[in-house]
């Protein structure tokens, strides 16, 4: 840890937030209070604006980490007799498949390589071969390796075949373009502590208005029923059960900064700039990204571990932390990697500093080149 500031998180949530967002959490709120109810309403309106979804969708916030909202979305949107196809190119897809199975829904997993995007053509052939499939689950940005999956093309295939689409857009929402007027989806899930740069603690699910009535009674959980949460919130303006008050007011403040920055296009630009600075700087040290640039989302970059036998993630992590930056372990099954997030309240200056911290870290460990064993 450097003496003058806290370490910067290069992780895909929790991430580094601005001082303004942190300061928003210094007040306590009553859940029934009209001021707090107004903030809930404002946040919901802003979220709908980000996806241009006012006409087509509602948004339902839910307490908990992002996965709580994915689970709630599947259990609320898919009827008990539904059949869900999960397009799997990484760890978060496997998590979605597991929770779908645990919710008692019939689940079919279509595997893809973790260094490739999912294929709309393969999806199409599966939908033609098995007409019992009712819903498709996809991850927009697979945070496991950092792959950008083709949302529009998958949505088009699902719409053409009359299948419901559920999108985990946790690590892409507010940074990559998602336009509900162009992309047809039944449910899309994101959370407070990712590209909106709020703190973790709540998720939210966009649900297509046309399917809302059919969602009633699908979910066998009380706390995770988004239909019930929606009905109650519309009626009272309040959350069912204790809301994450500080998380919500921080998100409200984070959204204000998002809007001031210039919205999704500005945020994407900053993250792209972060990503370029990172990949360029790391290449000079010998590091090689795991993915083809064509499918790399500017959200999180997976790097091959250096071939040098002195490299060990734990030591590398500890020294990088002492140098002011928190790295993220790899999440791949076959190859030794580590990850660096490009998201959070940081810009290319901090990314250049991060690369410098990594250079110092290599020097301290005694690694001359970070080239992988390829």
Ligand X SMILES: *Cc1c(COP(=O)(O)O)cnc(C)c1O
CA–CA distance, 344 with 331 (Å, rounded to integer) = 20
Piece of the chain touching ligand X by CB under 6 A; list 61-69, 71-79, 120-128, 321-329: 61-69
Piece of the chain touching ligand X by CB under 6 A; list 25-33, 60-68, 258-266, 322-330: 60-68
Residue with smaller CB distance to ligand X, 274 or 361? 274
Terminal C-alpha separation, the chain: 33
Piece of the chain touching ligand X by CB under 6 A; list 158-166, 167-175, 333-341, 362-370: 167-175
Residue with smaller CB distance to ligand X, 73 or 139? 139
Beta strands across the sheet bearing 57-63: 57-63, 202-208, 187-191, 164-168, 135-139, 83-88, 106-111
The answer to whether 67 contacts ligand X (rule: CB under 6 A) is yes
CB of 34 to ligand X, least distance (A): 30
CA-nearest of 234, 235, 233 to 243 is 233
Contact code string over 121-140 relative to ligand X, x by CB under 6 A: ------------------x-
CB of 196 to ligand X, least distance (A): 12
For residue 28, how many other CB atoms are within 10 A of its CB?
Answer: 8
Residue with smaller CB distance to ligand X, 66 or 298? 66
Piece of the chain touching ligand X by CB under 6 A; list 59-67, 255-263, 305-313, 357-365: 59-67
Piece of the chain touching ligand X by CB under 6 A; list 64-72, 145-153, 228-236, 349-357: 64-72
**Which residue bears the tokens 């040290």?**
285
Question: How many amino acids of this chain bind ligand X (CB under 6 A)?
Answer: 13
The answer to whether 100 contacts ligand X (rule: CB under 6 A) is no
Question: What SS3 state is found at 108?
Answer: strand
Residue with smaller CB distance to ligand X, 11 or 40? 11
For residue 90, how many other CB atoms are within 10 A of its CB?
Answer: 24
The answer to whether 65 contacts ligand X (rule: CB under 6 A) is yes
Q: Find all residues with CB under 8 Å of 318, minimum gap 6, and list them.
A: none
Residue with smaller CB distance to ligand X, 92 or 325? 92
50: part of which helix (H) or strand (E)? helix 34-50
The answer to whether 168 contacts ligand X (rule: CB under 6 A) is yes
CA–CA distance, 280 with 133 (Å, rounded to integer) = 44
Q: Looking at residues 3 to 42 of the shown chain, list those that interact with ligand X (rule: CB under 6 A).
A: 12-13
Contact code string over 314-353 relative to ligand X, x by CB under 6 A: ----------------------------------------
Distances (CA, A) of 278 to 51, 60, 353: 28, 35, 9
Residue with smaller CB distance to ligand X, 90 or 120? 90
Residue nearest ligand X, Cβ-based:
66
CA–CA distance, 16 with 130 (Å, rounded to integer) = 44
301: part of which helix (H) or strand (E)? strand 300-304
Residue with smaller CB distance to ligand X, 13 or 306? 13
Q: Is the peptide bond before 14 cis (omega within 30 degrees of 0)?
A: yes
Specify the length of the chain in residues: 374
CB 51 within 8 A of CB 280: no
The answer to whether 170 contacts ligand X (rule: CB under 6 A) is yes
CB of 171 to ligand X, least distance (A): 4
Residues that bind ligand X (CB under 6 A): 12-13, 65-67, 70, 92, 139, 143, 168, 170-171, 191
């Amino acid at each position: 840890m450097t003496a003058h500031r806290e370490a910067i998180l290069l992780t895909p949530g929790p991430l580094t937030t601005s001082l303004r967002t942190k300061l928003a959490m210094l007040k306590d709120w009553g859940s029934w209070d009209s001021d707090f109810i107004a903030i809930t309403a404002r946040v919901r309106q802003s979220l709908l604006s980000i996806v241009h979804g006012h006409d087509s969708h509602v948004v339902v916030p839910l307490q908990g980490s992002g996965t709580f909202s994915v689970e709630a979305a599947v259990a609320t949107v898919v009827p008990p007799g539904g059949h869900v196809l999960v397009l799997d190119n990484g760890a978060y897809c496997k998590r979605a498949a597991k929770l779908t199975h645990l919710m008692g829904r019939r689940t079919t997993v279509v595997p893809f390589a973790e260094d490739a995007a999912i294929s709309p053509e393969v999806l199409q052939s599966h939908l033609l071969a098995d007409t019992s499939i009712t819903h498709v689950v996809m991850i927009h940005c697979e945070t496991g390796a950092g792959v950008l999956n083709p949302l529009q093309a998958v949505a088009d295939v699902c719409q053409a075949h009359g299948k419901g689409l559920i999108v985990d857009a946790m690590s892409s929402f507010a940074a990559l373009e998602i336009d509900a007027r162009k992309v047809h989806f039944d449910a899309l899930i994101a959370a407070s502590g990712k590209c909106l740069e709020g703190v973790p603690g709540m998720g939210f699910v966009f649900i297509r208005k046309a399917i809302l009535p059919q969602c009633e009674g699908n979910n066998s959980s009380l706390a995770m029923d988004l239909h019930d949460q929606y009905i109650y919130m519309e009626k009272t303006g309040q959350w069912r059960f204790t809301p994450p008050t500080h998380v919500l007011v921080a998100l409200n403040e984070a959204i204000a900064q998002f809007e001031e920055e210039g919205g999704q296009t500005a945020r994407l630009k900053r993250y792209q700039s972060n990503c370029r600075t990172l990949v360029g700087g790391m290449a000079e040290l010998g590091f090689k990204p795991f993915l083809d640039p064509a499918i790399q989302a500017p959200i999180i970059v997976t790097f091959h571990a250096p071939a040098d036998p002195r490299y060990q993630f734990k030591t590398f992590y500890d020294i990088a932390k002492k140098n002011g930056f928190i790295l993220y372990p790899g999440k791949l099954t076959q190859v030794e990697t580590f990850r660096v997030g490009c998201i959070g309240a940081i810009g290319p200056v901090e990314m250049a500093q991060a690369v410098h911290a990594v250079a110092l870290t290599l020097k301290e460990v005694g690694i001359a080149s970070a080239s992988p064993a390829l």
